[in-house]
């Protein structure tokens, strides 16, 4: 819409409907009456320039590609199923819950995002204040001295000093009616930015909670690894001693001693790497909870059992409300759209209504006497005739800003679909790995039980028993590691689904997340321990 079309559209929306004309004697001129009526309508009602916002169009798939064959959820996505606000409680770990609660209160990234959100809300209030008149009071007092000279043309004369006092008190009111909707569009833009900031705050909270949960489960996975690697180290040390003794008696070659030494050193190196990784995860959890790493410690739990809660999978369209980053991108697009109207309003003149009243006198004691009153009132109309193309450039910049925000929104939606698909694919593959490693562990348990029985009967050597025990420990470690990765994958899936946060489009505010008890009515919240 160009400037002329916008002017005509505003005038058409602001003008009252035509009334039946009645001939009257001495009726005012039609042009004057119409002008006064139109001016009053524009003054009181105004119009709003710029395009009305609609969400950028994007193709949304009917279902996820990787949701087939998942045994832990319904076959069809449930659009009504939502995650509880405290989704981490479904894992049944009180230590994890307390850590996440501490992080949500003390994490500095969340504190920074919360401060940014408060600043955005203050910007909305400042924009809304422009819709109202400005009232001010003022008082002043001054005393001045002037020199006056008198005398003849010859240059002789005298000088006198004149002292004067000026005291005044006044009240001023001014108001700029929002004739073209510039202020209303600015309020709309500020609200969109504030809503985007609120979604970013929710995204930061979700990110911190999910990162802490994944770090915690990785630490517990390393607790199990350290315990199993410690057992493997002791067995390798025993095997090395037995191999050296056999070599001294000429029963084995020197190469077997070297192999035993390599196996022991490998287990020692793996154990050291696991301990270093655990320390790093512990430091990360400390920082996430807002405390220095030196003041934080988590006791090892080598017998930890990972739990997998059921995760309701919504329809792809639900990601548009459940993903804070998608909501933030969409709200930024809405704010950018409103700025187009702000830029278009700059092409039209502005009207300012102002009034001032007060008292002015040369004596403070008689300042408020009626004869010393003064007042002024009147409108002021101002418009820019030439600016070298600055307004056109600003309008083009606003339109380009909207196009950029719309593209960012579409990319955010595509990235959201990709992340969910990646999580579903990873979860499915880890489930298959867990089943395979579980079967391997069961067979190695049977083999170890058989080897131990044979050792008791004296039909096999201790070395063969230790070798089978090493195979059993390796199989158990593979299974426990896969279970830990599976639990972390479920956390990532919850994060990619938007956690327990949801946007209410009708109200333009975040929807309250249901508690664990309310969510359990549609989806069981009781976690099950992986075998």
351 vs 141: CA distance, rounded Å: 32
Give the residue carrying structure tokens 């307004």.
391
DSSP line for 263-275: HHHHHHHHHHHHH
Res 6: pLDDT:
54
Q: Which residues of the chain have pLDDT under 50?
A: 1, 11-38, 41, 44, 69-79, 513-531
Res 311: pLDDT:
79
Give the residue carrying structure tokens 């040390």.
237
Res 71: pLDDT:
42
CATH code of residue 324: 1.20.1600.10
Res 274: pLDDT:
97
Res 478: pLDDT:
96
The answer as to whether 168 is a domain residue is no
Give the residue carrying structure tokens 């719309």.
406
Is the domain of 42 the same as that of 82?
no
The answer as to whether 365 is a domain residue is no
Res 72: pLDDT:
40
Q: How many domains does the chain have?
A: 2
219 vs 228: CA distance, rounded Å: 14
Res 521: pLDDT:
35
The answer as to whether 151 is a domain residue is no
The answer as to whether 260 is a domain residue is yes
pLDDT digits (tens, 9 = 90+) for 87-146: 999 999 999 999 999 999 999 999 999 999 999 999 999 999 999 999 999 988 888 877
**In 158-316, where does DSSP find H-type helix?**
182-248, 254-288
CB atoms within 10 A of CB 304: 18
Q: How far is CA 438 from CA 59, 230, 428, 458, in A?
A: 41, 21, 15, 30
CB atoms within 10 A of CB 379: 10
| β-strand pairing of 502-504 with 509-511 | antiparallel
Is the domain of 280 the same as that of 343?
yes
Is the domain of 37 the same as that of 72?
no
530 vs 427: CA distance, rounded Å: 13
pLDDT digits (tens, 9 = 90+) for 407-428: 999 999 999 999 999 999 999 8
Q: What is the pTM of this model?
A: 0.81
Q: Domain residues for 4?
A: 1-13+32-48
Is the domain of 3 the same as that of 116?
no
Coil, helix or strand at residue 499: coil
The answer as to whether 166 is a domain residue is no
Is the domain of 42 the same as that of 70?
no
Is the domain of 44 the same as that of 183?
no
The answer as to whether 255 is a domain residue is yes
Is the domain of 41 the same as that of 184?
no
Is the domain of 39 the same as that of 74?
no
The answer as to whether 54 is a domain residue is no
The answer as to whether 375 is a domain residue is no
CB 336 within 8 A of CB 180: no
Q: At what angle do helices 324-345 and 390-457 cross, to 10 degrees?
A: 180
Is the domain of 120 the same as that of 7?
no
Res 313: pLDDT:
74
Is the domain of 8 the same as that of 113?
no
Is the domain of 90 the same as that of 233?
yes
Is the domain of 304 the same as that of 244?
yes
Any residues with CB less than 8 A from the CB of 103 and at least 6 apart, and which? Answer: 110, 208, 209, 212, 288, 289, 290
CB 129 within 8 A of CB 145: no
């Amino acid at each position: 819409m160009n400037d002329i079309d916008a002017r005509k559209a505003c005038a058409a929306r602001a003008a009252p409907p035509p009334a039946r004309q009645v001939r009257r004697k001495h009726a005012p001129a039609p042009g004057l009456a119409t002008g006064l009526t139109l001016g009053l309508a524009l003054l009181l009602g105004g119009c709003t320039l710029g395009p009305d916002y609609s969400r950028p169009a994007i193709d949304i798939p009917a279902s996820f590609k990787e949701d087939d064959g998942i045994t832990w959820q319904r076959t069809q996505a449930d659009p009504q199923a939502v995650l509880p606000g405290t989704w981490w409680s479904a894992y049944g770990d009180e230590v994890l819950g307390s850590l996440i609660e501490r992080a949500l209160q003390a994490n500095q990234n969340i504190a920074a995002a919360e401060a940014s959100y408060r600043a955005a809300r203050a910007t909305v209030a400042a924009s809304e204040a422009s819709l109202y008149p400005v009232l001010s009071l003022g008082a002043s007092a001054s005393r001045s001295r002037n020199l006056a000279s008198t005398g003849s043309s010859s240059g002789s004369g005298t000088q006198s000093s004149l002292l004067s006092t000026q005291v005044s008190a006044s009240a001023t009111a001014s108001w700029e009616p929002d004739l073209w909707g510039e202020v209303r569009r600015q309020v709309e833009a500020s609200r969109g930015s504030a809503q985007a900031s609120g979604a970013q705050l929710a995204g930061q909270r979700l990110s911190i909670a999910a990162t802490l949960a994944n770090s915690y489960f990785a630490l517990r996975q390393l607790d199990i690894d350290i315990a199993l690697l410690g057992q493997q180290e002791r067995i390798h040390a025993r095997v090395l001693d037995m191999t050296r003794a056999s070599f001294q008696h000429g029963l084995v070659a020197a190469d077997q001693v070297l192999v035993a030494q390599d196996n022991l050193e490998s287990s020692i190196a793996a154990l050291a790497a696991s301990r270093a990784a655990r320390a790093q995860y512990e430091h990360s959890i400390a920082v996430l909870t807002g405390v220095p790493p030196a003041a934080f410690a988590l006791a090892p739990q080598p017998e930890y059992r990972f739990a997998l809660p059921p995760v309701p999978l919504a329809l792809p369209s639900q990601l548009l409300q459940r993903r804070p980053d998608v909501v933030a991108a969409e709200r930024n697009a809405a704010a950018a759209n409103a700025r187009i109207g702000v830029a278009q309003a700059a092409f039209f003149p502005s009207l300012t209504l102002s009034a001032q009243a007060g008292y002015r006198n040369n004596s403070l004691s008689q300042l408020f006497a009626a004869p010393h009153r003064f007042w002024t009132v009147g409108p002021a109309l101002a418009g820019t005739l030439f600016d070298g193309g600055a307004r056109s450039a600003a309008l083009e910049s606003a339109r380009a800003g909207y196009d950029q925000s719309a593209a960012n929104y579409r990319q955010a939606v595509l990235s959201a679909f990709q992340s969910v698909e990646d999580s579903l694919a990873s979860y499915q593959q880890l489930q298959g790995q867990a089943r395979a490693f579980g079967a391997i562990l069961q067979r190695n348990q049977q083999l170890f039980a058989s080897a131990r029985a044979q050792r008791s009967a004296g039909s096999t050597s201790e070395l063969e028993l230790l070798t089978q025990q090493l195979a059993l420990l390796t199989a158990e470690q593979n299974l426990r590691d896969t279970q830990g990765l599976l639990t972390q994958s479920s956390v990532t899936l919850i994060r990619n689904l938007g956690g327990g946060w949801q946007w209410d489009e009708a109200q333009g505010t975040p929807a309250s997340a249901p508690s664990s008890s309310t969510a359990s009515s549609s989806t069981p919240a009781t976690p099950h321990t992986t075998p």
